[in-house]
Structure formats: C-alpha cells, structure tokens
Amino acid sequence: MKKLLLTAAAVATVCTAAAAEDFPARTIEVVTHAGNGGGTDVTTRMMMIRARRELDTDMVVVNRRGGGGAVAMDYYLEQEADGHSILTFTIGHSATVALGNTEMTLDDIRPIARGTDDPQILMTRCGIYDSAEAFVDAQREEPLTYGTTHLGGIDDVSAFMFARRGELATPNIVPFEGGGELATQLVAGAVDVAVLNLAEAGSQIEAGDICPIVVLAPERMSALADVSTAEELGIDANFSTVRGFVVHADTPDEVAARLEEALLNAMNHTVYQGFLTSVGLDPTSVAGADVWGNQLTSMQADMDAALRELGFIE
C-alpha cells in the first residue's frame, strides 16, 4: 500500500510539472467587472500589451459587469484552476466580498501581481480653503457635502471614515455615476468635496478649477508632493483604489510563478510604466505576489471593519 501511495504521488508530481511546462496551452482570459474604457479595463489591457509577449500566447479581456464585481467573481469561480483565466481584483471586490454579495472569499484566490495603487484624494474647488488644516477645521461642527461614485464602495467608505476618525461632522453623501461627472459637478458647485483619483480630475486640476487637498495615504504622492496626507493631519484614514491580478487558490505553483514573472516583466516595461505616469502614479504601484497578498488581506480586513462600523453590515 505504501508503495502504491508513493507511486501515485510521483505520478501527480510528474503530471503537475508537465502541465506547468506546457503552460500556456491556449488563450488566457482576463476577467474584469468593468466596461470598456473604465479604469480597471484600461489597466488590464495595458498589462496585457507586454504580457502576451512574455507568455507567448494571446490574451483576451472578458467583461462581466454587474453587482459591484459579483458577476465577474462568480463567473471566475466557474473557470478551471489551470492559469488560463485570471481575475482583475480591486478594492471594490473587497467591498462586495465583505457585503456577502458574491460566493467568492479570499480563500478562493491567490495573488499574482499588483498593477496600481492609486490613493483616494479629497478634492475641492480651488480657492475655497487656504490649507488642509482649514479644510478639516471647516468640518468640526458642520458637515460638508461629499460627492462619490455610487454607494457602499471605496469612495463613500473613504469619506465616512475620514470624518469619523478625524472626529468631524458626518458628511452628506451625494452619489454620481462616474468620476468624470463628479469632477464636473464639483466645479459647478453641486458638492463641496469630491472623492476622486488623480486621473479622474486631471484636466480640471491642470486648468486650476479643482485642487487636491488631502491624500488618503501614508505618504505623499510624487505627483502631488505639496498635498498633505491624512496621516499628517493626525487622521488614520488610508484608502486606495487598488487593482491587481489573482488566480484560483489551487492553481499549480509552477503556473502561478510563471504568471507572476510574466506580469511583473510586462508591468515593469516602459509601455506600462508610461501608462502609470500618465495617470499620476509611479513604479511603486507594481508589486509581486507577496506584497499584493499582504495588501489583499489587510484591505479586506479594513473594508470589513469600515462597512460594519458604518452600518452596511449588521
């Protein structure tokens, strides 16, 4: 019996090695929850430009929209765990997992590589506040109206947690369909503050209509070196729009390692690095499985706690 078990284990090892050696054997699908042209879709396609060459195979985007990423996640769970399908995972997916709106949990996936780490930024119309401290002081007694994209996601969680941890008045939240509309409405005066990423308001910032006033990150952004962080103001509110890539938890180790190497090479290429620069990010956005995995765990815990504290989870 012992000999038979050893033989079976040896056969399994050989089969796994052979599968990894033959990988990839066909087109790789990269599943996203975003429509064409959205931030997640663009990030995914930019990664694929060089990853195709690294893996010497075709790669296609599969868009599965709906449910705050739930449709894409549940679709992904139905795919084979052989590395021929990859899921683009974002902070929004963490919210969907926390809310129990998908069958997926973190135990179902393993990290491959991070593509962007884009801090949330609180922005106002230029000239309204002299400093970040004045902006915070204005909310000590009376709430400001914050514009966000949708509800129950990273934007309104960022706004609520900034106010709560800064002991400020609870903000009034007005949701919009997208970052572009929100930036326009901020300039028009429909809201006092907008929770945005740098790329979403790039043209209005350049025109001097919108001014970033607080970055929700531990360190200042290189593209906004003169803008204070929440931590500098004594407020523990660090939130980012993070986009990375994961595969099934039981994907063979050799296949996962091959994918990690290929994606990191692709995203450290000048093509992808140029994309990061164009949206105000830097090379530190790109990270391997260890860093990305630790961040996945911590941001899921933060999202669970924030949504529970804010009453989205009973």
Q: What pLDDT band is residue 14 in, cutting at 50, 70 and 90?
A: very low
Q: What pLDDT band is residue 18 in, cutting at 50, 70 and 90?
A: very low
Q: Which superfamily does CATH assign the domain made up of 2-117+241-309 to?
A: Bordetella uptake gene, domain 1 (3.40.190.150)
Nearest-5° Cα angle at 249, 247 to 252: 85
pLDDT tens, residue by residue, 75-99: 999 999 999 999 999 998 999 999 9
* pLDDT of residue 17 exceeding 70: no
CB count in 10 Å sphere of residue 306: 24
For the record, the structure tokens of 18 come out as 């052979």
What percent of the chain lies above the pLDDT cut of 70?
A: 94
Domain 119-233 has CATH 3.60.15.10: no
pLDDT, residue 198, reads: 86
Q: At which residue do the structure tokens 């901020």 appear?
A: 186
Q: Which residue has the higher pLDDT, 7 or 159?
A: 159
Q: What's the CA gap between 219 and 224, in Å, rounded?
A: 11
Q: At which residue do the structure tokens 């530190």 appear?
A: 284
**Chain centroid offset of residue 61 CA:** 17
Q: At which residue do the structure tokens 């692709």 appear?
A: 266
pLDDT, residue 68, reads: 84
Cβ neighbors of 35 (< 8 A, separation 6 or more) are 41, 63, 65
* pLDDT of residue 217 exceeding 80: yes
Q: What's the CA gap between 174 and 141, in Å, rounded?
A: 20
pTM for the structure as a whole:
0.80
2-117+241-309 and 119-233 have identical folds:
yes
CB count in 10 Å sphere of residue 265: 16
For the record, the structure tokens of 276 come out as 């990061």
Q: What's the CA gap between 54 and 20, in Å, rounded?
A: 15
pLDDT, residue 20, reads: 64
**Is residue 187 classed exposed, middle or buried when 0-12, 13-18 and 19+ CB atoms within 10 A define those classes?**
middle
pLDDT tens, residue by residue, 120-141: 999 999 999 999 999 999 999 9
Domain boundary assignment for the chain: 2-117+241-309, 119-233
The type of residue at 115 is G
